[in-house]
Amino acid sequence: MSDDTWDPIQFELLRNAVISIADEMALTIVRTTYSGVLRDNMDFSTAFCDPEGNLVAQGLTLPGHLGSIPTALAAVVERFGHAMKPDDLFCLNDPYQGGMHLPDIFIFKPIFHNGKRIAFAATICHHTDVGGRVAGSNASDSTEIYQEGLRIPPMYMFEQGKRNETLFSLIEANVRVPVKVFGDIRAQLAACNIAERQFLELVDEHGVETMSQFLIDFVDYTERVTKAALLELPDGEWSFEDWIDDDGVDVGQPIRLFVTFNKKGDRLFADWTGTSEQVKGAINNTLSFTKAATYCGVKCILPNDVPANEGFFRCVEVTAPPGTIANGVLPAACAARGLTGFRMVDCVLGALAMMLPDKVMAASDGGNTGISIGGYDSERNPFIYVDFACGTWGARPWADGLSGNSNLFANMATQSIEVCEAENPVEILAYEFVADKAGAGKFRGGAPYRRDYKLLEAEAVLQVRSDRKVFRPYGLYGGNPGASSSNIMNPGREARPLDSKLTMTMYAGEVLRHELAGGGGWGDPLDRDPESVLRDVRNELVSINSARDDYGVVIKSDGWGVDYKATQILRAEIQKLRVGKTPAVLWQDWPRKDDKGADL
């Protein structure tokens, strides 16, 4: 049986029923979890897989986990596949045995019917702490995996319903905030149980043979619609390079990202050869995370109704040489690998912008930024505040970049200031958009925001993982780059600029200010509608000076209007200065180097 022989109404009903299982799992975690990083930031994913471990449906959660769940589940199936029984649950977090980085703990539950395995429920959550040298277990300046926390290879969490007490004891002894960690683990377990119950209800209603065949046919259907969509795209080869500021250890040493796309018929190949060798700092990717970043960028150019499952993966082949930042090998540290994944999405979009100039946006803020503040109060009780900041999209060929919206690789939410302050010894002094940091263009890049964090306890370890301080978010087709990100300690008279990646001690009353980078612009800024520039000025996203210098628009502050005559004259003068210069297709302000950092 194949999906073209299904009754189309029945097929659609079952498709939505299975996708809804993954979504209900996600809602279960949001409603039952303990930590702000899951409840508010929503740094987790849920999925439903077939009995072989192929992804069938992913919940409305992180695109960053697109490539991770199949890899992690494959490691579990390889080790325990023939020994699995009802009421077993498995877990892992080891990047070198199926995981991505140690804070991300996977939990899988095989689903059985009459003694036969018929599906898997899958969850992955970023936990507040898994031990290691820095609170939050997410430091970018660790130099080997052994510094980063508790490594869990694929193992039983429950065996036929009996809890693995040894594992739970090890977790409790190694994490700083076991109450939060175990609360979040219970949320994952609840989500798996919800998936099992709902799928078995479908089996009872439609029969196990029908549902098992549907899981196969839904994946095959996705493969066919993905191939059909790829056939509509031009064949060819496109390459793109971008640069990470540094790894936080070898400060000032840029790190190359390089991808080549080759499109042939209904297949797309992405090769990360040319990307930097793995680095000392903890920003090395697993191959599964590199795949996720690649899949996310490719999904942006395909129709919205192409499902995200194994059928899509079959059509997009991703390779990266072992020992590179795109595919680290032991003992590479990877706690802060999220930074590299986000930057890879921009790199992917840079290449795809050459394929499809009218469909791809400019570079985003480079996020998300990871900030953790951890220590002990006066009674030696541990606290860990973890926040992820992102919110600035690059301009699109048809509209401005989004402001205050999660990076497309994250699909995360921001934490409520009131909740942050109620649960942690921090005070949020500012949370606001920053003017004149969005890349100018016919369509403006997204405006970034700043957030100020004041420490209320005596001292804490501050860890920041950010980027785009040196290499700004690129603009496209004449658009300007976004302004750089920044970290400042004690803004004001005592302001002290900090590196983009840092681990340091923070003392009571000190304030960290983090500003995201602005999104890149798209198209010539002189083509921007003057009324749109005026609106940005009125909304305090663009200053009067920037309106004049970047857009050639003269704003009358008396009455707040556009001086059209002066604008016409100014834009003509700017155009004269451009005579003989080649218009930029892609705005890059960084030198071209090879993967060893040598000039090309």
Residue 153 lies in a domain: yes
Q: Which amino acid is at 235?
A: D
User: Is residue 293 assigned to a domain?
Assistant: no
Of 226, 245, 262, the position where a domain reaches its end is 226
C-alpha–C-alpha distance, residues 397 and 478, integer Å: 11
- 590 and 578 assigned to the same domain: no
- Residues 400, 374: one domain? yes
Mean pLDDT (the chain, rounded):
93
Q: Are 12 and 135 in a shared domain?
A: yes
State the pLDDT confidence band at 40, using cuts at 50, 70 and 90. Answer: confident
pTM of the predicted protein model: 0.93
Question: Does the structure show a pLDDT above 70 at 253?
Answer: yes
Based on the domain organization, do 136 and 190 belong to the same domain? Answer: yes
In this prediction, residue 586 carries a pLDDT of: 62
Q: Are 334 and 286 in contact (CB under 8 A)?
A: yes
Mean pLDDT value across residues 475-482: 96
Same domain, 65 and 102: yes
Q: Identify the residue with better confidence: 580 or 437.
A: 437
Domain that holds residue 455: 361-524+584-600
Least confident of 35-44, 52-61, 545-554: 35-44
395 in helix, strand or coil? coil
Residue type, 213: Q
Does 387 lie in the same domain as 373? yes
Answer whether residue 165 is part of any domain: yes
Residue 314 lies in a domain: no
Domain boundary residue among 201, 226, 251?
A: 226
ω before 331 within 30° of 0 (cis)? yes
Number of domains comprising the chain: 3
Give a yes or no: residue 8 inside a domain.
yes
Q: Is there a domain that residue 561 lies in?
A: yes
Is the CB of residue 33 less than 8 Å from the CB of residue 39? yes
Q: Where are the alpha helices (DSSP H) in 98-177?
A: 165-174
pLDDT for position 584: 63
Q: Would the pLDDT of 148 be above 80?
A: yes
Calculate mean pLDDT across residues 344-367: 95
Please tell me which residue, 327 or 67, carries the higher pLDDT value.
327
**79 and 47 within one domain:** yes
Asked if residue 267 belongs to a domain, the reply is: no
Instruction: Give the pLDDT of residue 593.
Output: 47
Q: How many Cα neighbours within 13 Å face the side chain of 69?
A: 35
Residue 236 within any structural domain of the chain? no
